[in-house]
């Protein structure tokens, strides 16, 4: 009843074939390819003491998703998208495939969990429009992402529903913990979000044994260490060419290190890559701040 491929096929075939591209685009709004860069860039170029906890919260959300997938290990619907990536030109396929090709189990939907976490955080902590409108907008985004996963033929409806519920429950708990620890200061609150995420990642590794849970754990530990011992200034980077170059170089180094993951599934290697990534993401603003401090002072003196 809950895991019938015919339900997914019916939803997919209700819409014209070209809708597969729209479903892929909407899927990206709950994808790690969108969520992770969004929170990292917000941390680098906005209020760091505000968005540092977002990084921890997002990482914890992914840990919850991986842990639940490890418990249930539900197969995918076996339906797939209306348009397969192999039928598309190479450039289009490279953009389309990550949204519709899957390698993990089905239950719950990771996109639904991630979309719930990131868009609810935007609604709760941004200052655009009214709180009610922001929550309505967040709910709409979550529904669109969830429906797109079913329309793309890669999830059962129950996967999406449980993913949303799991995301909401997780946010209620972690935001309550963050609110309590903020009484001891923002620095402690950020440390706590990374600690919670690290603990959840260990649980996810226990339930699933997947190497990416170790990368997630390493990322949490690296971020925690960088935040604790190399806390960057609260002021964001200015949008100057030099700073953008530093950011691009940092992302490039992280991408090069991550290439190692393509050739091994050894958990120690994944742990090391995650640790490096966490330190780099959280610590790069401190490093760039130091390297750019001297020229700034020279300009003032001059």
- Smallest CA-to-CA distance from 101 within 83, 80, 77, 115 is with 80
Residues 115, 120, 121, 125: is their CA dihedral positive or negative? positive
d(CA 149, CA 111): 8
Residue 298 domain-assigned (yes or no): no
- What range defines the domain where residue 242 resides? 5-292
pLDDT confidence of residue 233: 82
- Smallest CA-to-CA distance from 213 within 237, 194, 234, 197 is with 197
pLDDT averaged per 10 residues, the chain (length 302): 85 93 95 90 88 96 96 89 90 90 89 97 89 94 96 94 97 96 92 97 95 95 94 80 77 76 85 92 78 44 40
| DSSP for residue 82 | S
The tally of domains found in the chain comes to 1
d(CA 120, CA 211): 28
Residue 299 domain-assigned (yes or no): no
pLDDT confidence of residue 290: 55
- Smallest CA-to-CA distance from 61 within 12, 102, 117 is with 117
pLDDT confidence of residue 226: 94
Residue 232 domain-assigned (yes or no): yes
Residue 92 domain-assigned (yes or no): yes
Residue 142 domain-assigned (yes or no): yes
Spatial CB neighbours of 64, under 8 Å, sequence gap ≥ 6:
113, 166, 167, 170, 200, 204
d(CA 180, CA 231): 21
Q: Count other Cβ atoms within 10 Å, centred on residue 262.
A: 6
Contact predicate 85/100, CB 8 Å: yes
Residue 285 domain-assigned (yes or no): yes
DSSP code string of 131-176: HHHHHHHHHHHHHHHHHHHHHTTS--HHHHHHHHHHHHHHHHHHHH
- Smallest CA-to-CA distance from 152 within 77, 68, 74, 66 is with 77
Residue 110 domain-assigned (yes or no): yes
């Amino acid at each position: 009843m809950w895991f019938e491929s015919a339900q997914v096929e019916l939803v997919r075939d209700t819409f014209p074939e070209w809708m597969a591209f729209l479903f892929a685009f909407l899927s990206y709004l709950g994808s790690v390819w969108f969520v992770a860069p969004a929170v990292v860039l917000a941390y680098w170029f906005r209020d760091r003491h505000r968005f540092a906890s977002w990084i921890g919260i997002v990482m914890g959300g992914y840990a919850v998703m991986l842990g639940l997938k490890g418990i249930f290990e539900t197969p995918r619907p076996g339906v797939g998208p209306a348009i397969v990536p192999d039928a598309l030109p190479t450039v289009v396929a490279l953009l389309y495939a990550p949204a519709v090709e899957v390698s993990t189990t089905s239950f719950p939907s990771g996109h639904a969990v991630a979309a719930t976490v990131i868009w609810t955080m935007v609604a709760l902590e941004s200052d655009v429009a009214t709180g009610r409108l922001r929550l309505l907008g967040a709910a709409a985004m979550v529904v669109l992402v969830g429906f797109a996963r079913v329309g793309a033929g890669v999830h059962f409806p129950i996967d999406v529903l449980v993913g949303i519920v799991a995301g909401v429950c997780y946010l209620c708990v972690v935001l309550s913990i963050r609110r309590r620890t903020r009484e001891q200061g923002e620095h402690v609150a950020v440390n706590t979000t990374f600690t919670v995420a690290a603990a959840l990642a260990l649980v996810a590794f226990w339930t699933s044994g997947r190497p990416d849970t170790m990368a997630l754990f390493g990322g949490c530990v690296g971020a925690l260490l960088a935040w604790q011992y190399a806390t960057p200034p609260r002021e964001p980077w200015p949008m100057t060419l030099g700073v953008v170059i530093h950011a691009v170089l940092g992302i490039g180094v992280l991408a090069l290190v991550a290439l190692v993951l393509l050739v091994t599934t050894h958990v120690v290697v994944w742990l090391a890559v995650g640790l490096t990534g966490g330190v780099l993401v959280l610590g790069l603003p401190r490093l760039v701040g130091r390297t750019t401090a001297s020229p700034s002072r020279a300009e003032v003196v001059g």
